[in-house]
Structure 1
């Protein structure tokens, strides 16, 4: 909990009443590899803040699971459905790739925190920052070739290669698993 409060404090000045409200309404929990935070068509009553671990999101398209997102520590995990403004149910499966620690925040408590200026600021900063990060990353990756996408991941998000299968990575960068394997070996040879 202290790491979460320190993280929030680094982004905004928190008053005592707001800290009391946050600490009384959030829950710290540990979940385990392959557990789900959200499944398709699940009501969204909570969002999560990832303290430690690695989490990925996938969507079923034409019978295949396509990796749509991943989260690293010290980020908010917000289902894609919130980005799509379908607030009531998740359109993706969000699954842990390793044992992970979270702060669980009820959406009702987030709405109540908006009564406070600090709550409004934090909501706008973090929720919008996460949506903006995801939008910019998706937009950037759409403009790149598959090889450039793989290089970007290896330069900026090396952890994905440790936790995700080649099939998951291939779905994220938009190629087949055999082509991904060839490109990875080409890149490691310096190509």
Structure 2
């Protein structure tokens, strides 16, 4: 194995230490520099004719974004009577939709026997909880936590009705 190492060392030492390019590279470098100069000159000419630089375009875009945020964010910044009535309208619509859904569920399960006897009391307790949450929403109509709580109570009502009237084959 040492014979191989010796031959390899001799061969490596016999190689040329400096690799020469196969063609003249200065022409490519010169063309690259010239194209960069041409692009800079073209941008300079465009700036002179239009009078607007890239930084000015960026400033313009930033000001448009700022005005857009103000335009669409202003209704939330100033609470008026119309926004309060919009919140109440949303809550009333949600309550009405829930009541229609509960009524349709009860009508569809009218002939199905219930699995427990006190489910109507539980439904009444959930109704009372929804009423308390709606009263709290009158004081703070934009409170997302209260709206989520009301939605959760409504979901519990629907789940209660479906579980109580589930047919035997759906039970585990």
Q: Judging by fraction of residues, say which structure has more strand.
A: 1
Normalising by structure 2, we get a TM-score of: 0.24
Bigger Rg, which one:
2
Normalising by structure 1, we get a TM-score of: 0.22
